[in-house]
Every structure is written in C-alpha cells, then in structure tokens.
Amino acid sequence: MKKTLAILLATSSLLATTAAAQSLDLEKEDLTLGFIKLTDMAPLAVAYELRYFEDEGLFVTLEAQANWKVLLDGVISGELDGAHMLAGQPLAATIGYGTEAHIITPFSMGLNGNAITVSNEIWDEMKPNVPLMEDGRPQHPISASALAPVVENHLDRGEPFNMGMVFPVSNHNYEIRYWLAAGGLEPGFYSEQDISGQIGADVLLSVTPPPQMPSTMEAGTIFGYAVGEPWNQQAVFKGIGVPVITDYDMWKNNPEKVFGITAEFAEDYPNTTIALTKALIRATIWLDENDNANREEAVQMLARPEYVGADAEVIANSMTGFFEFEKGDVRPAPDFNVFFRYNATYPFYSDAIWYLTQMRRWGQIAETMSDEWYFETAADVYRPDIYLEAARLLVGEGLANEADFPWDSDGFKAATPAEDIIDAIPYDGRAPNAYIDSLPIGLKSGQTVIDGEIQG
C-alpha cells in the first residue's frame, strides 16, 4: 500500500509543479456530459452557466439521462464523455460487478445530500416509537429501530415491506441498508446466483429512478425510499411523506457523487481531463463561497427544466441550509449539501474503500479480499493526482486559494469517530476488513452467500 500510494503522490506533486507553467493544449474541445435530475448535479450546471467550461476552452453539452444504468452505459460506449455518477458506479464497473469497464474519477462532487423518506401511513405507525423533544417535535436522528415494529407487523400479516433506492451500487442503497441494519433490520444479501439483494431480507429494497420516487410511494408500490434532493422535500410539499433521517445525520459529511470518465478518456485526453476538473472545482468553490451566498442563484438555475426541473421552493429547502421533516418542521441544515468546503471535491481513497466495504458487506463482492486489494482498487479508480494538477493550475491563475487543498494528503481521511455515525461504529479506511468485521449485521471475513445461505 505505502509503495503504491507513494508513487502516485510523488507523480502528483511533480505534475502539479510542472503544469503550473504550461498552458493546456486541449486534445478534445467538444464534450457531452450526462447527469441525473438531482440537486447534486449543480457543479455541472454552474460550470456551464457561469462559462467556466468555456474559460477552459471547452464547449460542453449537458444531457439529462433517464436513469443511472443508461448514464453508465453512455459513458462506457462513448456517447457521453463523462457524467455525474454514483460513487459506486466507477468502482463496480472497474471490478466487474455488472458491466465491466475501467472508469475513474478525478473529482468528487460533494458531501451529504440524501435522505430517507417514508409514507404518511408508515410515519403514523412509526411515530409512537420515536422519542420527542420538549417542544413535542420528534428527536432526530431517528433510528430504524422505530421502524422495526412496523415492519414486523407487516410481516406477521404476510405482507412484504417494500422500500426503494436508486441503483444497486448507489450511495442510497448502502445508506438505507446501513440505517436499517443499525436499527436491527435485515436489508438482505446479494449472491452470484441471486442479484436481487433480497436474500434473508426483512425489508425488500428495489430500484426506482430518483424523479419517480414520490409518485411510486404515493401509488403504494413502496412504503419509503432513499434518494437525493429534491425528491425527499418533494414528498413533504406534496403532503405524501415524511423524511425521517438525512445522510448527514447518519454519517456526518459522508462522501457522495463523483464525476466519472473512462480511463481511456483520461489517457487519450489528459489535458481535456484536467480542464474539466478545473472548471468543476471552480463551480464548487462558487457554490460554497461566502457561507453559501450564491445558493439562491444556484436554485434558480437548477429549477429550470433542462436541469432538475422541480419548483425552486422545493430545491431551496435543502440547498439554502434548511431541511423540512414533517410539514412545518423546518430545521437548520447548513451542511446538508456541501460542494467544496471540508475538502469535499478531493477524491479520497478512503471514500472509495468505504463503498467497497459495503459491497462486500452485502455480498456484491462475494469473497473476502485482502486489505491491499481495497487500497489498490481505490487507487485504480480515484485519481487525486489529476485533481491536484488541476488545483495547482487554478491556484497559479489566482482562481483558488492554496490553503483550500490537501496537498500533503496520503489519500486517507482521519478515521471517522463513533460519535459521527448513527451506529457508533468508527470507520477507518486503512483497516477495511477490521471495519467490515466490526459491523453486527453483514458478511464477515471468510463468509459468502451460496444458495440463499450464509456460509463460512
């Protein structure tokens, strides 16, 4: 691990130093980038609308995609040059879970930004199990243990308990699984024979595209879902559901989406890749600068039909530092969407490793892998060398502050302390197998799922 990371970081330092004195000779100028209609696609919209792409000599077309699979397939086929992606997508593709392709990310698109919402009917059943504050409002964060008796009642009546998430390797799948397991509920396993993810599950999770989440819940197909904004706040505004927990309250400043390109694209168009990364970094700086002073303007951009296409009022609820749970229960949430501060855009290896541990925990990675495998896979996909080269150029141009970038990072964040995670189990990316084995529900070292049973 140390040798691999030392080589990468030494290369990063050299490239960052030499590139500052050179102008970029772009290998490809006309680009098509994909996104899903979520507020965390904001860096793409901002980079386009404020002409940061054009400043880099890039002529970009932004295209909304129907769902995450269509988006991934578009990047792999070359129809899209890059895209706003689920963090699990480049990792899963690179290790061959689903469609195999070497996808990399030079840029993380932010922190936090998701929530879990349940229907009004389920909330009414949960609420007696939720502690109240002195003013009578629910105490947050709300544990899935409040949902457990509701699920048990459904199962006792022979009724399946269905919830939605957006993609099998999505942040949302791993977050809702984490929340359910922390509350004592089984979210189910994957196996090589059964990729439903529902083996042994108390709660049956299935895929629904983000914009369709509220209507699918309203139709009664699912009782709740995990999704990014604005589709949790949309349920509140429509009066059909109640968000019960944000991912910030599950894991403070958890990693979120990434910008994904093929490794081939990065190799064939290295200067174009750096230019893209520069424009996206500038967009995230703008989104967070002066205590989020530009967020109202960003909301107006995102509300347009070519981007998110939801009411500005709905988008503003979370983007401007607040979050509404029950109707009228609006609470401060200044870090619900973080785009740049806290080194949000740096592609940390430890973020990649967390996603890989969750793939292993639930059986998407069938066998136990060595710690070194996690380190090498993370370094194969997450590319801080490209990120730092872009950042160094921006600093040299006076467009970014040197102090805002983690130049000396080894690619690993400090371990997340127990008090920042809902189940009080700390996470250290330097010890992936020890972390997996510390989680009460989920596969452990030496275990695998065969014929619907955990073995080993």
Name every residue whose Cβ is closer than 8 Å to that of residue 369 and which is 6 or more positions away in sequence: 360, 433
**From the CB of residue 440, how many other CB atoms can be counted at a distance below 10 Å?**
10
Residue in the block written with tokens 């809702």: 176
Map residue 253 onto helix, strand or coil.
coil
pLDDT of residue 381: 98
- The amino acid occupying position 164 is G
* Residue closest to 5 by CA, chosen among 353, 314, 268, 304: 353
Give the whole-angstrom CA distance, residue 129 versus residue 283: 43
Q: In the beta sheet, which residues pair with residue 426?
A: none
- What's the average pLDDT block by block, 10 residues per block, for the chain (456 residues)? 47 42 83 97 98 98 97 98 98 96 98 98 98 97 98 98 98 98 98 96 97 97 98 97 98 97 98 98 98 97 97 95 96 97 98 98 98 98 98 98 98 97 98 98 97 94
Map residue 207 onto helix, strand or coil.
strand
Q: In the beta sheet, which residues pair with residue 205?
A: 163
Question: How many residues make up the chain in this entry?
Answer: 456
User: What is each CA distance from 293 to 91, 94, 285, 289, 334, in whole angstroms?
Assistant: 34, 38, 11, 7, 12
What domains appear along the chain, each with residue ranges and CATH number?
30-111+255-347+383-413 (3.40.190.10), 114-251 (3.40.190.10)
For residue 220, count CB atoms less than 10 angstroms from its CB and return exposed for 0-12, middle for 13-18, buried for 19 or more.
Answer: exposed
pLDDT of residue 23: 73
Map residue 449 onto helix, strand or coil.
strand
What is the helix (H) or strand (E) element at residue 118, kind and residue range?
strand 114-119
The token pair at 93 is 């593709």
Give the whole-angstrom CA distance, residue 228 versus residue 256: 10
The alpha carbons of the chain give a radius of gyration, in whole angstroms, of 21
pTM of this structure: 0.94
Q: Identify the DSSP state of 33.
A: E
The token pair at 441 is 């529900």
* Residue closest to 42 by CA, chosen among 268, 225, 310, 263: 310
Give the whole-angstrom CA distance, residue 251 versus residue 239: 27
Give the whole-angstrom CA distance, residue 26 versus residue 274: 9
